[in-house]
Chain A
Amino acid sequence: MTDKDKYRAMFCNPNWDYNTLEAADEVISRIGREYLKLKTYPNQIEIVTSEQMLDAYALTGLPTSYPHWKFGKDFVLNQNNYTKGRMGLSYELVINSNPCISYNMENNSTCMMLLVIAHACQGHNAFFANNYMFLDWTSAESIVDYMVFARDYILRCEEEYGEEEVERVLDAAHALMNHGVDKYKKPSKLSAIEEKERLKKLTLIKRENYNEIWKTLPAAPVILDAGIGEEQRFPKEPEENILYFIEKYAPALPQWKREIIRIVRKVSQYFYPQGATKVMNEGFATFTHYHIINKMFEEGYVNDGFMLEFLKSHSGVLYQPEYNSKYYSGLNPYTLGFNIFMDIKRICLNPTAEDKQWFPDLIGKNWLEQVHYIMENFRDDSFILQYLSPKVIRDMKLFTIVDNEHETEYEIGAIHNERGYRKVREQLSSQYDRASMVPNIQVTKVDLHQTSKLYLTHAIQKERRLDAESAKATLEHIRYLWGFPVELHSKNKLGINESSFEMK
């Protein structure tokens, strides 16, 4: 028996063992490397039970995290849904780390295992290792270390200052997680060791400069030196990273609370690219597993029976219910991403007249190179804006609905026809733009002279106002962290106040 026969026998047996996985990983990484030219982080494939998968879900895949009730709540929620059969667990969960850790469910069949290894350990892994969002905004090398540091730090704080106080800070910081991301400045890479060093240095400086006599002086607000005297505005530029602003400038916040905010901010930053590349990431991983498994079939590693099971699972992943189906719950990112990537390949190989007009840059190019280029340099909104082709719009029969608050009827804005392609494309792209999901709120002013009041401004877009209840609760959290009154104004395009919230 040759190796290939042996492998085929293993892969076509629905029960797998360690050797099967090892063989699968070997074959799949070879195909990924040689056929799809993927550059990946080394893989760490972990086989887990459903309970462990639920644990992993609660911590969004991170091997460890700081303690907080939110994770417990997510765990209870998922557990309830899972045990009631309302929710299935995914076959895998993968995180952006080096080595790339993926969790595979123990009850996957051999075929599912191969699919999952191709999908997560090649597809997602390559995406993490090459997409600019992940390279620029996260550091795969140190995230696991950093989370260990974060956990230890929070545990120490709990010991020193009490669980309740720590929880209070974490709750407040979590409420601002979406406003704790640097979208334009690339954050410096973090590493647990450096982080510890930084803290050590900080205490050292403090100790060296410590002087008993200073205790008798009233504490000067941290921000006073930022321009007292002249009628200067502070901050000079509006700051959209509210967590960062509080961490740096909150007048009366003890150092340990600033550190906790920093931790939450770093975690939020780490997850930022994931939210911005959902369609691409899943689309690319699906594209990858589809090609790898088909290649295995071509090379004779798997038989027809295996392929039947594979195609069933594959089409299950890509199932997109229509807008009026009772199963409809939004666009399936797997489907959308996969369709776009497949169409890019098609355009490179067999362009039609329409494609020549829409995508002159792709015509006659090597499809794999193009796919790599796109996978590396885009995120969801730009990806869709550039590469959602008329054919995909037609195939998926996409259309837009205009829902104006002030009207009693919906209006169909565009459908899959000549006039509609661009509109649908732009619309879908903006739907994946972060700005359409997270309200644009910035720190615009701090009253340095009297009250230390913090002013936030919400720029209303598309007449979408804030959810008042939630906004008030969030402001209360900000009030707690900032330590002084906080005011939020929602301003429309003309700069006119539409609504205000205040926490005294």
Chain B
Amino acid sequence: MIKKSALLLATVMFFSILLAGCGGSDKAASPAPAAGGKKLIIYTSMKESLISGIVEGFKKKHPGIEVDYQSAGAGKLMAKIAAERQSGKILADIIWTSEVPDFYSMRKEGILEQYKTPLINELVNPFTDYDGHFTAARLGTLGIAINTDKIKTPPAQWSDLLKPEYKGAFAIADPALSGTAYMSVALLEKQFGWEFFEKLRANGARIGKGSGQVIDDTASGELAASLAVDYITNDKIAKGAHMALYYPPELLLAPSPVAIFKGSPNLDAAKKFVDYLLSKEAQTLIAAEGTLSVRNDVKTPEKFKMPEPADALKRSIKIDYVQMMASKEATIKKFTEIMQGKK
């Protein structure tokens, strides 16, 4: 990055001199050449602390391989990939986000490299149609985060959200903005039907903004409770937020798959990275963030009070991801109509 910006600065200087000399061409247009094709590049929506730790660990294990990563929201990354495809070449070697539907559509478009990791038998695999195009590298969960100053009795069932304690103070992140929010809406709809959302609405539930923001709103007391992603909530709890995270029996599971792009010039290194990501070492780092690993031999630290990976998979609401992807627009529309509809 620094290198690229330095190049920009140099060009600017050069350009200004040109202009000052009253010569000058039109504009700075020449695109920057990519800095060496050897570097392994990872696009991920995992947060900084997690991905940097994993990349450091990988570098230690494979000192010969250069690695860099770009972390951003999954939507932003997909937009970048779409633009890169238009100009002919995807700059990343690996993608690791929590948007399962994106992986299904990328597989369909044929831009993912098939790699059946030898570790697959050691893993908890949520994908019944696994064929090596992508592998779950983390099991995200969503639960009910409550502000402990506002709600005294922990929720045990989804239907607890219909109690007066939660009136006008529960929110679900906007599924149009957040992929995990969309997934949880789809899962809850499958399990309980639209009438669950109608009842929620009758109790004053609303649509929040991003999936991180509803959690911060819960921490601040703007909301009493929200549908919350595990590691974001656990991070804030660890920092002292007055919150707690609870899981009703029907669990919302949002796996984060990892995949290698077809035509990656660093295929060997990419495969090594995927294997490292699924190893006990990297999975322990993942579990330490307050989320679930995909390995049964890695326990999430006791303080987070989270279910075991295999148990979580068993409890989780199952859904057909392909179908879920197809009905995305209609589901979001219906959800928005209900939640913004008449009180």
- Real binding pair: no
A-contacting residues of B (Cβ < 8 Å)? none
Chain A interface residues (CB < 8 Å from chain B): none
